[in-house]
Structure 1
Amino acid sequence: MEATNMEEIQLRHVETDVLIPKMMRERAKERCVERVEAFNHCCKESGFLMAFKCREQNSALKECLTIHYRDPAFFEECKQQYIREKLEFERTGIPAKNRKQKLPASM
């Protein structure tokens, strides 16, 4: 099945309900990197008291991530990226994560 238009691609439920949301979480963390780093730093500094001391950083991080999770345009962007990666995998047989790795200089 070769589709010329990405809108023609039929996605399985696992793709729309699990795999694309997973991609959204990963990309949202990249978009909220400052809040992720602030929360991580606070946790490292606070030790066992992080649940109390890092509430502000945790709230800011959750707010940033939630904005992206609820954005239909962001879902569509991630869906299109997922479809491109899926089509490339079908064409090459190489998963996206392996394509990003550098090949050794000598084989």
Structure 2
Amino acid sequence: MAGRPIPNSLKKQMQKATVKHTDMPNEMKTEVVDIIAGSIDKFTLPTGVNFEGATRAIKDALDKSYGFNWHCAMGKGFCFDVTAQNGTLMHCYYQGELAILVYKC
């Protein structure tokens, strides 16, 4: 992606999160991807994504569905090294440029 903007027509095709790495069971992975996509869509403004609102919504939904102590990080440029419970880590991209990390510890 070396600095070129993604065309809007391609972004519409990429409305679902692309999972880079996960150790979640398939059913849980599908539900978490849906939660992520729904939360980001809900907090997308004409000026961009409200990261704080979207991450809070994702965390609250995961806490409610799968128990407490979930964490969510979202951004366009970050790296991570976390320790998570087995079966709870997911790193994915939304629309090709927005990285999302969710995990439970």
What is the TM-score normalised by the length of structure 2? 0.27
Greater percentage in strand: 2
Structure scoring higher RCO (CA < 8 A, sep ≥ 6) equals 2
Greater percentage in helix: 1
